[in-house]
Structure 1
């Protein structure tokens, strides 16, 4: 075989490979790409993502493609991801998990729908304007009920530390309501702030040394470092009451929404937008039902007897 033949065959092979590659890169016209921006990794947010993805596949079939990005608890990283999502015109809709994620996407995306979950106060964040491209499922728990059950469970408590990140708007909203409800029962609330995961250990030490129990709102910083919180609280023999951490090794009491269900409801909103032609502004925010879990092993550890008046309101683990 002469050189010209070899060059011709080589050229044909290169052209053929290029055609195959281009065909692979060409997007299926029926494919629906969804960009997912999850702020951090911990059970509640993971459940919101899994519930959404599974339900979306059921609703929209096998032509769904997900682009998953995790900001690892960094607001700056969330903003960078949102910017990259904006540049990708193949993405038809976005799923934001947690308040920093939806705020990052809100700042960048104006022309495509954004559906959220695990956002505590969407109204306070002005996500419900008449021309909004955003809707979703909130995770605001019934704080009054939470404190009422806390009081029944620990009737002798008179001072509780509230552990949270003061920079998270979703947390400060809950803390304000928690204080109002605790005041009704003459329980003193001690503010203990942790501005980053690096601050959590010292904050928990402060909380356990100066209060009879530790209360945690729905807070991304604290939830991301929850194993540390649990370890220090256990060592100090101080009970933990959390809002929506969904931990596999639960504290004395967990109170919050069902995050898997929240993700499913967010997927149903997406279906209404993509298949029924609804606009996000036409779809009201969804508030998933709350659940209350009591750890029976923790009851024994702290010599707490489950009161009769709350037995029907909680689930024993």
Structure 2
């Protein structure tokens, strides 16, 4: 079994400095020759003049602030590295958004295989699972991003797939909940039963509640309409704190539910800053810009540096930042500075944000 590689924000920034210097030194040498998936997966590389073009398939699972942020930072990083090295990562012709539809994912996978792309970047677990199946009879490698549990998904140890994980420290979020609500006796759990990214986090949340004599109410939804009904049920139950992990279904619905939660006096604690951007009380988890950039770096290592998938264990990141939606906080009748002070002992930092549809 491969072991994941943990990247802290500090080491990531240090690595970025060294990486920039290295890229500048390599600007005149370019990457290895543009290759089929076979060469990339094997980790072979040969000298080539600048001007090489690599076909990079990018598969986004659904439009939401988290995943879109990953794609944007991934593309920006590939553009920057391509300019430094004098090569082109052509993702524009091979980008697709499945809109959370499995039939779309199946067709996208078939199309990318037919296009003989050099690598497929799969954003979120359903995309990665489908792309892995699509390349089964090929040598095209898959690099995923935002897969919460690579081991549980069956990816770890395979020779044609690796990537970056947005694994969540659920106990850290539970401690944030207790910091603001020390006398809490009941928590709502809002998630999609079909989202693999929620499975382990919800199990951890239940274990935490059991250990701390906190009861919990579970509500689920598979689309925005169902999530809205679930939130209304939670509000009717009188619950005042709700936890959601890195669940794409809930993330997609957040803009439609946050006002209902505010009106019911519910603090929504979530597994990513993008939830807070879309109105949730608080988001805690990985930096998705960093996640996208690190995913792009793995693409470069594969295509340009001659590394094999086996030489690149999946990468995880620290979860030190809490993002507080100050508008929601005030609407709930809470003091922003008091909440920040309660959070600070349990976080690397506390960031403030206001409600918007996408990151600026």
TM range (shorter): 0.7 to 0.9
Is 1:225 matched up with 2:247?
A: no
Q: Please point out which of 77, 88, 104 is paired with 1:77.
A: 104
**2:226 alignment counterpart:** 199
Deviations 1:140-192 (A, max 9, x none): 11111111111111223211111111011211221111111222222212111
Partner Cα distance (2:51, 2:333) in 1: 62
Deviations 1:223-264 (A, max 9, x none): 111111212212222121111151434422111111110000
Is 1:306 matched up with 2:339?
A: yes
Classify 1:112/1:301 alpha carbon distance in 2 versus 1 (closer, same or farther; 3 Å).
same
Cα pair 1:160 1:214 within 8 Å, conserved: yes
Give the gaps of 5 or more residues in structure 2.
1-49, 353-360
Is 1:68 matched up with 2:101?
A: no
TM-score normalised according to structure 1 size: 0.85
SS of the residue corresponding to residue 73 of structure 1 reads coil
**1:216 alignment counterpart:** 244
Is 1:96 matched up with 2:125?
A: no
Distance apart, 1:86 and its partner CA: 1.3
Partner Cα distance (1:160, 1:30) in 2: 54
Cα pair 1:153 1:307 within 8 Å, conserved: no
Distance apart, 1:127 and its partner CA: 0.6
Q: Please point out which of 213, 217, 235 is paired with 2:263.
A: 235
Partner Cα distance (2:243, 2:51) in 1: 50
Is 1:128 matched up with 2:156?
A: yes
SS of the residue corresponding to residue 156 of structure 1 reads coil
- Counting matched residue pairs gives 288
Q: Please point out which of 322, 325, 328 is paired with 1:295.
A: 325
Is 1:257 matched up with 2:292?
A: no
Partner Cα distance (1:307, 1:43) in 2: 23
- Please tell me whether Structure 1 or Structure 2 has the larger radius of gyration of its CA atoms: 1
**1:4 alignment counterpart:** none
**2:307 alignment counterpart:** 278
Distance apart, 1:308 and its partner CA: 4.2
**2:182 alignment counterpart:** 155
Cα pair 1:39 1:71 within 8 Å, conserved: yes
SS of the residue corresponding to residue 287 of structure 1 reads strand
Partner Cα distance (1:239, 1:307) in 2: 14
Partner Cα distance (1:140, 1:114) in 2: 19
The 10-residue stretch of structure 1 (246-255 or 303-312) with the greater mean CA deviation from structure 2: 303-312
TM-score normalised according to structure 2 size: 0.76
Cα pair 1:60 1:271 within 8 Å, conserved: no
SS of the residue corresponding to residue 233 of structure 1 reads helix
Distance apart, 1:306 and its partner CA: 2.4
SS of the residue corresponding to residue 315 of structure 2 reads coil
Is 1:173 matched up with 2:200?
A: yes
Cα pair 1:223 1:245 within 8 Å, conserved: no
Partner Cα distance (2:101, 2:278) in 1: 26
The 10-residue stretch of structure 1 (170-179 or 292-301) with the greater mean CA deviation from structure 2: 292-301
Partner Cα distance (2:65, 2:74) in 1: 14
Is 1:32 matched up with 2:67?
A: no
Classify 1:85/1:44 alpha carbon distance in 2 versus 1 (closer, same or farther; 3 Å).
same
Q: Please point out which of 294, 297, 317 is paired with 1:268.
A: 297
SS of the residue corresponding to residue 160 of structure 1 reads strand
SS of the residue corresponding to residue 57 of structure 2 reads strand
Partner Cα distance (2:145, 2:215) in 1: 32
Classify 1:294/1:36 alpha carbon distance in 2 versus 1 (closer, same or farther; 3 Å).
same
Cα pair 1:137 1:265 within 8 Å, conserved: yes
SS of the residue corresponding to residue 139 of structure 1 reads coil
Deviations 1:44-103 (A, max 9, x none): 1011101111111222335221111001111221122112111111x1111111011000
Partner Cα distance (1:36, 1:159) in 2: 41
Give the gaps of 5 or more residues in structure 1.
1-27
Is 1:107 matched up with 2:133?
A: yes
Cα pair 1:252 1:299 within 8 Å, conserved: yes
